[in-house]
Amino acid sequence: MREIKLVLATVKWDEEHLQQLRNAFKPAEVICVDSKDHATIESLLQKIDVAVLASDLDERFLKAPNLKWVHCDHAGLDKSAKREVFEKNLIVTSSAGRSAPALAEHALFFMLALTYRFVDFYNAQRAHQWGIEGQNNLRGLCGKTLGIIGLGNTGTELAKRAKAMDMKVLAYRRRNINCDGIVDKLYSRENNDTIDELLMQSDYVVLALPLSDATHHLIGERELKLMKPTAYLINMARGAVVDEKALVNAVLNKEIAGAGLDTFAVEPLPPESPLWDLPNVLITPHVTPQVPDRTGRSLDIIRENIRRYRAGEPMLNQLTIDDVYTKRT
């Protein structure tokens, strides 16, 4: 059994949740420190074997002599996905999945708002105008095809909701799994599939996969040209998964119908970005409404990973060599 003696925690939780964190790690000692208290953190880095961080790990943690496991209390690990992590044999995990239901709803919000031309109807309402041009040609989500690239926590929650709305669901993921009843067709890298067929068949393409060297600019000029001219691209992943210049051209040239974007290569999105003014594009500032007791859901993941760590079992949401990301700008 692997032993845990001293834990550093920089998460900004209320005292009740922090006490639950302390209880979860018992008999280990948990020391809670403000993430800006660099002096105390530097001192503790010489002693700790586990860290629970509010943000990503940095170079200080890679140099910690006894550190074995770092948990980052958010979903994406691309900023922590460095080769040095594996050279040090450091376990890095995340809280991916805690907000999956809300992220799935966010994707559906984009899909519905674009399909129902919400912006046009709202502008008509503000102008006291009854209806908009082309409203009788609108068609809902029922019977349409959703393609999900990244069938993890968020992708699975989205697939369940889409099936409830009588959509056909296609999905792509790295590893092949049994997902009968969740999707109609699964493509996987493990089976040597590509995303091409999914792109060509889908009315909505939702990105819900991690950012890595393999997925950087996964959606570029070639992939956008494969999509239907009536299809929408929804990005709930990371901004750099999409070649934004290619996306701008695809929308302006009407190669796709539009997009819903919650993430961007540079955040905040610069005021001069052409993405702001694209027709049929909805933008949200990398923010999704929280699920009830989001911190409690993080704690559930951490508790299970404490058990797995001590037992020497594979961890939930563990960073793998496939997740390495070196193409930072």
User: Which tens digits make up the pLDDT trace of 11-25?
Assistant: 999 999 999 999 999
CATH fold for domain 100-283: Rossmann fold (3.40.50)
- Marked catalytic residue, from 74, 286, 294, 303: 286
Domains 6-98+292-323 and 100-283 share a fold: yes
Which positions ≥6 away from 43 have C-beta within 8 Å? none
Active site residue 308: no
What share of the chain in percent tops pLDDT 70?
100
**CA–CA separation, 158 vs 101, rounded Å?**
8
Instruction: Summarize the confidence of residues 48-60 as an average pLDDT.
Output: 96
Res 84: pLDDT: 96
Instruction: Judge whether 212 and 322 are in contact, CB under 8 Å.
Output: yes
The model's confidence at residue 122, banded by pLDDT at 50, 70 and 90, is: very high
**With 90 as the cut, is the pLDDT of residue 180 above it?**
no
Active site residue 71: no
- Marked catalytic residue, from 267, 307, 310, 328: 267
Instruction: Summarize the confidence of residues 202-218 as an average pLDDT.
Output: 98
The model's confidence at residue 179, banded by pLDDT at 50, 70 and 90, is: confident
Angle at 276 between CA 273 and CA 277, to 5 degrees: 110
Query: Taking the CB of residue 278, how many other CB atoms lie within 10 A of it?
Result: 18
Instruction: Summarize the confidence of residues 309-325 as an average pLDDT.
Output: 96
**With 70 as the cut, is the pLDDT of residue 329 above it?**
no
**CA–CA separation, 167 vs 319, rounded Å?**
32
Express each pLDDT in 263-296 by its tens digit. 999 999 999 999 999 999 999 999 999 999 999 9
**With 70 as the cut, is the pLDDT of residue 44 above it?**
yes
What share of the chain in percent tops pLDDT 90?
97
Express each pLDDT in 64-76 by its tens digit. 999 999 999 999 9
Express each pLDDT in 220-266 by its tens digit. 999 999 999 999 999 999 999 999 999 999 999 999 999 999 999 99
Res 328: pLDDT: 78
Instruction: Judge whether 76 and 235 are in contact, CB under 8 Å.
Output: no
Instruction: Summarize the confidence of residues 155-177 as an average pLDDT.
Output: 97
Q: Which residues pair with 187 in a beta bridge?
A: 172
- Of 3.40.640.10, 3.40.50.720, 2.40.50.100, 3.40.50.300, the CATH number of 6-98+292-323 is 3.40.50.720
Q: Please provide the average confidence, as pLDDT, over all residues in the chain.
A: 97
Instruction: Summarize the confidence of residues 297-309 as an average pLDDT.
Output: 98
**CA–CA separation, 326 vs 329, rounded Å?**
9
- Marked catalytic residue, from 173, 174, 238, 297: 238
Instruction: Pick the closest to residue 236 from 209, 201, 212, 198 (CA basis).
Output: 209
Helices (H), the chain: 15-25, 38-44, 59-62, 83-87, 100-115, 118-126, 153-164, 196-201, 221-226, 244-252, 294-311
Instruction: Judge whether 131 and 124 are in contact, CB under 8 Å.
Output: yes
pTM comes to 0.95
Instruction: Judge whether 254 and 133 are in contact, CB under 8 Å.
Output: no
Burial of 214 from C-beta contacts in 10 A (0-12 / 13-18 / 19+)? middle
Strand order from edge to edge, sheet including 204-207: 185-188, 168-173, 145-149, 204-207, 232-235, 258-261, 281-283
| Domain boundaries along the sequence of the chain | 6-98+292-323, 100-283
Q: Which residue has the tokens 């979860």?
A: 24
Q: Which two tokens stand for residue 249?
A: 């051209």
Amino acid (one-letter) located at 185:
K
Active site residue 106: no
Res 1: pLDDT: 81
